[in-house]
Amino acid sequence: MSSPTPAPEAVPAAAEAVFGERLELARAYQRSLAEVASARGFIGPKEVDRLWSRHLLNCAVVSEALGPDLRVADVGSGAGLPGIPLAIARPDLHVTLIEPLLKRSTYLAEVKEELGLDNVTVVRGRAEEQKKSLFDVVTSRAVAPLGKLAGWSLPLVKVGGAMVAMKGASVVEELERDRAAITRAGGGEAEIVTVGADVLEQPTTLIRIPRRR
């Protein structure tokens, strides 16, 4: 006997504050994650009833750490997190979703088309294969340990730009462990910040590492 499908999560009040007049696009993306991405195995079934709190809003608030009119790459984008929520919340950003797997990159292209996200580009490929020093910011979520992630992300960043990665409570230990690898990748002094304190029960933790060379 199959388990019942979780009820969809109600749209939280914070969503309007984060997405503003583009809330309907966020709602459409949430439905796509719940119905299409979950059916294709990109989103776990237990996540369907908490897509707003743990995924859309958690990712969209990363925009607090980003300046205007930036070229942003989302490495290992998967089902589009954090890149698509960022592109919805911040139409001034030019977001490139980099995803190596065909099924996932196909889904991302479908979402871009269905939502009419003109500020999104989908690239199927590995981070290591992309043009270097092209982006102002490279972001990611739960892709790899920090040292390996820096090796993938920092070469894509222009000197003076930064990688801005979503991380959990272990980020301090990861930074201590991988500091040498970050330096080898061209990274400067890292900064750990939290965003979304005004709209989330649990703010999002980011590590920002500038590219120095």
Question: If you average pLDDT over residues 120-132, what whole number do you get?
Answer: 95
- Give the domain CATH number at 152: 3.40.50.150
DSSP letter for 192, please.
E
Look up the pTM and report it: 0.92
Q: Which residue has the tokens 């977001």?
A: 95
What is the number of structural domains in the chain?
1
Q: What are phi and psi of 13, to 5 degrees?
A: -60, -35
Q: Is 17 part of a structural domain of the chain?
A: no
- Per-residue confidence (pLDDT) for residue 142, from 0 to 100: 78
Closest CA to 144 of 178, 120, 112, 114: 178
Question: If you average pLDDT over residues 57-78, what whole number do you get?
Answer: 97
- Helix 146-153 vs helix 171-184: crossing angle, to nearest 10: 40
Q: Is 96 part of a structural domain of the chain?
A: yes
List Cα–Cα distances, 16 to 12, 27, 89, 177, 190, in angstroms: 8, 10, 10, 39, 32
Kindly state the tokens that stand for 30.
């949430």
Q: Is 195 part of a structural domain of the chain?
A: yes
- Per-residue confidence (pLDDT) for residue 169, from 0 to 100: 84
Give the total residue count for the chain: 213
**151: containing domain:** 59-210
Q: Is 146 part of a structural domain of the chain?
A: yes
Q: Is 6 part of a structural domain of the chain?
A: no
Q: Which residue has the tokens 């009833």?
A: 49
* Tens of pLDDT, residues 167-188: 988 899 999 999 999 999 999 9
DSSP letter for 105, please.
H
pLDDT band for position 10 (cuts 50, 70, 90): confident
Q: Is 90 part of a structural domain of the chain?
A: yes
Q: Which residue has the tokens 């960043």?
A: 157
pLDDT of residue 52 exceeding 70, the answer is yes
Q: Where are the alpha helices (DSSP H) in the chain?
A: 14-19, 23-32, 51, 57-60, 83-89, 102-115, 146-153, 171-184
Q: Is 75 part of a structural domain of the chain?
A: yes
Distance CA 212, CA 30 (A): 37
Q: Is 182 part of a structural domain of the chain?
A: yes
3-state secondary structure of 79: coil
